[in-house]
Copies of this chain bind each other. A is one copy, B any other.
Amino acid sequence: MRVELVQTGTELLTGARLNLHAQWLSERLTSMGYEVVRQTVVADAAGAICEAVAGALGRVRLVVVTGGLGPTSDDRTREEIAQLLGRRLVEDTQVLRRLEAFYAARNRVMPERARVQALVPEGAVVLENRWGTAPGLALEVSPEVRAGLGEGKGPVRAEGTGWLVLLPGPTREMRPMFEERVVPLLAKVLPVEEEWASVVLRTVGLPESVVEARVTAVLEGGGGSGVEVGYCAHAGEVDVRLVARGPGARERVGRAEHRVRLELGQAVYGAGEVTLEAVVLEMLRARAETVAVAESCTGGCVAHRLTNVPGASASFVAGWVTYSNESKVRGLGVTPAALAAHGAVSAEVAKQMAEGARRMAGSTHGLAITGIAGPTGGSAEKPVGTVFLAYAGPGGTEVERRFHPIDRVSFKEVTATYALDLLRRALLRGAGTD
């Protein structure tokens, strides 16, 4: 079942914003068994959406459009699609009421312009927006209309009814709507009928080329695995995607997953949409243990990632961002002598930070990070990218020295990932109060 994505957004075309929707939607649709064959971004200009969507509907049965549903004059998707499909726009009373309630709950008067968001093309399915104003819309498109639209816009493959799904642009509105409204709708109207299976194994701590070499070696022996493998490296992690289609797909993917997990061992921290931080917090929660984190160069990144996970407060109790030598002393009890002898970026200071956090917070475990994020601050013996990670637990403290010579923002993310993994590996070893 082939899919195309169309996004509107002048901010994407000027390069002002990074396009996250394309990857997110493509990953979700791929994991559901669909095949994304094209992604297009067009301007907010009149007619641009029409043109791109018409061409897409002539080629594939599912077209997902994001953007242009808001209340401003740049938002043309509703009008253009209604015009393209020859449907009248009618004000939907239920949508209007929900709009009014949205503004009322925020003690605001609904601007007159915002009312356009209650207009629904005739025959469209309304997709409720729990987190914003504009509802999404889904429209069925007959093969005849598909063929007509696609004419003169490239190759036409118009067998079968098509569906056009319109989603709002803001991420926090679009993603829940997709999960809660679009996924069930597609299961009903455009299900993927051939057998398919897909799993993404999440790994941490190994370089991409090593992961690829080891996975290839273990899967390609003996006539191959009948499974396609893809790799995606990001911030100290490498995701390994295994996909198969057709009869026996699930069995082939199951077997391949088993072989890869055996080969990569502890480097695999989970599968699917999990995050390393959620995995670590769950391990702590299951043991009724807690952690405190002292950060210098990561500047709050570790605490921020941990607290993104609902329920983090069960296991994460306190964090420090000791961004100056003085705050390390006053906040964590790091000794001035250690700072003078070794410097803030040292194994000894990392150790004292981790132990200090654990002591001050009264937590089971302590984690600390001190390093040089750059671009300035490096030296010959401690260049930019140098970092010390420390784990303090009931059984003692361990320190790891690492080197991540990358840009400042990436340094923080990668270092935070390795710090969380240091804690994960300590927990796997049983380093708690058992």
Which residues of chain A have a CB within 8 Å of any CB of chain B?
A: 9-20, 22-30, 36-45, 48, 51-52, 55, 70-74, 105-106, 108, 111, 113-114, 131, 152-155, 170-172, 176, 198, 200, 207-210, 212-213, 216, 230-234, 239, 241, 243, 293, 295, 297-304, 306-308, 310-313, 316-324, 326-327, 330-331, 360-362, 373-376, 403, 405-410, 412
Decide: A360 and B376 in contact? CB cutoff 8 A: no
Residues of B within 8 A of A24 (CB): 15
* Complex alpha-carbon distance, A169 and B124, angstroms: 40
Interchain residue pairs with CB less than 8 A apart (19): A9-B232, A14-B36, A15-B27, A16-B241, A18-B20, A19-B39, A105-B405, A106-B405, A111-B210, A152-B152, A152-B154, A170-B233, A170-B234, A297-B307, A298-B304, A299-B303, A316-B323, A318-B322, A318-B331
Contacting residue for A317 out of B51, B106, B327, B403, CB 8 A = B327
Copies of this protein, total: 2
Contacting residue for A230 out of B44, B113, B410, CB 8 A = B44
Decide: A308 and B412 in contact? CB cutoff 8 A: yes
Decide: A406 and B172 in contact? CB cutoff 8 A: yes
CB distance from A327 to the nearest CB of B (A): 4
Contacting residue for A25 out of B15, B154, B212, CB 8 A = B15
Residues of B within 8 A of A403 (CB): 106
Contacting residue for A154 out of B37, B55, B234, CB 8 A = B55
Decide: A19 and B13 in contact? CB cutoff 8 A: no
CB distance from A369 to the nearest CB of B (A): 12
Decide: A231 and B16 in contact? CB cutoff 8 A: yes
The 5 A-B pairs of least Cβ separation, nearest first, read A299-B307, A15-B27, A300-B303, A319-B321, A300-B300
Residues of B within 8 A of A406 (CB): 131, 172
Decide: B216 and A73 in contact? CB cutoff 8 A: yes
CB distance from A182 to the nearest CB of B (A): 15
Contacting residue for A304 out of B29, B304, B320, B405, CB 8 A = B304
